[in-house]
Amino acid sequence: MRSGRSRWKFSFHRSSPSTTTTSSPSSSTSFNSDTPPEFLCPVSGSLMADPVILPSGHTFERACIEVCSELSFSPPSVSPPLELSSSSPPLLISNAALKTAIANWCDRSCLPRPTPLSSTSAREIVMKLLPPDHDAKVKGSVDCKLNKPLSVRTRKQNSVVSSNSSLSLSSNSNSQLSSHSSSTSSSSFSPSCGTPKENSTNSEISKASSVPSTNQLSNPSTPCPGDSLEEEILQKLTDSESDPIDQDTATVEAMISLRQATRESRDRRLALCTFRLLASLRQTLLSRDTVVLTNAAAAVVNLSIEPENKVPIVRSGAIPPLIDILKYGSSEAREHAAGALFSLAVEEENRAPIGVLGAIPPLIQLFCHRSDGSDRVRHDAGRALFHLTLMETNRSKLARISGAVRRVLSIATSPDETGSIRKLAMMLVCNLAGSTEGRAVLLDSDAVSAVVELIKNEFEEEYSIATLYGMSKVGLRFRGLAKAAGVEEVLARVVEAGEGVRADMARKVVQTVQGDVGGGTGKGLVSGEWFEWDDDLLEISDASVVSMGVGAFPQQHKEVRSVVGSSSTKF
């Protein structure tokens, strides 16, 4: 009995002996207080054995978030709340890098590696977090789902849902009971008519304050602009009883109508950016029909013009299909997909999930190869990369792509490229100089001599000097390469030419090359962001830049905004 009590004392799960036997090291509280918080699941509070990433950028233990989805429950530690539904399971992406990091940390700390939670253990953890009234709501939605007859056409004809339920997100009724008979639905969603055909690509649909609320969309007394068009489009997309040929025609017509409507006005774009429409639009982005795919991608671009729509679009799961279009779509579809990713990447909150979901490699492919599309698609790919690499983790992702940095450098120095493409390439190089991994790869790619040649030719001198300034943080290795490339002679002209940030940066680089660096600490600006350096730097006041490039050069703000600013082009 004493040993049994000891196990109960140290077990994280205390509800039953069976839980104790299924508990894993990951659910133990025996790890020390130095555990990195990013290694802990927000739901269980324990080390993650199988971490997965949601399109929103959040990371959870797989079993825990699957149970949360089944119960349509957003973990209380996550803000803003996630909109999880059993009828639309979230897209879960395995985080192999984090899993390896956790395993290595456990080995160094002499702790056992965590093992995945069982579904039973995960459910018990989540059930303890549920609010008191959640069980009744879940039970009511399950009873309704099991007992209520399923009729697609009836639901489409009666777009108003009863007052004690809400939206119906999906449209195919054939697989609902077989695949989700044990699942539960959120109180904010009515029982679904079915699940999309490809559950592996389903994603969460998250709510933003700018999008009409669930009650507005389900309450007949609350008219919503564009509601009739939304219903018309959804009916065409979800009419499973029609002939396949007629259904294909209806889908084409629906996407053309949506594309045209999203060109009309801001109010129209805001009204049409609803949970139901985004869910259907994401499925349409998976179509193999070129016409459907092109119009759907163009509609996403148009919807993303409005700042309020950017986060809901990403959280609806649109990014993976857009990335597939970049890889395999037609030229026109790729152009729209690149434009959509550029527009969505302007929003800072979207940059992490877009990078995590794998957008950077295909964007680099489009940007670096002329044969892959028109100048527009290369410009949009470059702009998307610029905004994405304002984030440290995305700079690291770009730096790790084999040969990518060399190709970007070659574009920046190539006289055969247009000036705007070369400028975008130089801005990417400047961003890379703001990260440790980026600086190392730049030095390996002979960036010092390449940038010196650009300064000699007076091409984008501001970005070139800022890039040297970033690379100078490497220390002795940079000094040797800089002396060989003649950095002192080239920058002497800039230092003598006048005052300002450009001259101050050049002076600091020369001091580093000469080994004459004074003490102190400060902050430097590379590619529009503050970076903490560990030696003396000047403090640049004009640093509140998000989408303008290097904010240290005020005279360039207008020009830079024209290169990388938010998209307003309608397709």
List the domain boundaries for the chain: 2-129, 136-201
Residue 85 phi/psi, 5-degree rounding, is -145, 140
Quote the CA–CA distance of 106 and 112 in Å, as a whole number. Answer: 6
Cα angle 548, 550, 554 (rounded to 5 degrees) comes to 80
3-class secondary structure, 53: strand
Q: Specify the pLDDT at position 240.
A: 52
25 or 372, greater pLDDT? 372
pLDDT band at 442 (very low <50, low <70, confident <90, very high): very high
The larger pLDDT score, comparing residue 194 to residue 517, is at 517
Nearest one of 257, 365, 368, 242 to 302, comparing CA atoms: 257
pLDDT band at 135 (very low <50, low <70, confident <90, very high): low
At 455 the pLDDT is 87
Please, which residues have CB within 8 angstroms of residue 437's CB and are 6 or more apart in sequence?
A: 395, 396, 399, 400
This prediction's pTM? 0.62
Quick one: pLDDT band at residue 138, thresholds 50, 70, 90? low
Give the pLDDT confidence score for residue 568 in this predicted structure.
60
Q: Which CATH class is domain 2-129?
A: alpha beta
Burial class (CB in 10 A: 0-12, 13-18, 19+), 562: exposed
- H-type alpha helices, 15-72: 17-22, 62-70
Q: What is the pLDDT of residue 427?
A: 94
Per-residue confidence (pLDDT) for residue 33, from 0 to 100: 62
Share of the chain above pLDDT 90, in %: 29
CA distance 116 to 102: 13
- Round to whole Å and give the CA distance between 196 and 89: 10
pLDDT over 90 (residue 99): no
Mean pLDDT of the chain: 72
Name the band, by pLDDT with cuts 50, 70 and 90, for residue 246. Answer: confident
Structure tokens at 176: 């609902």
Structure tokens that stand for 74 in this block: 């957003």
**CA 526/CA 549 separation, integer angstroms:** 9
Helices 275-284 & 307-315 angle (0-180, nearest 10):
60
Record the tokens describing residue 38, joined without a space: 């990013």
Give pLDDT tens digits for 159-173: 333 333 333 333 333
Q: Yes or no: say if 525 and 502 are a contact pair by the CB < 8 Å rule.
A: no
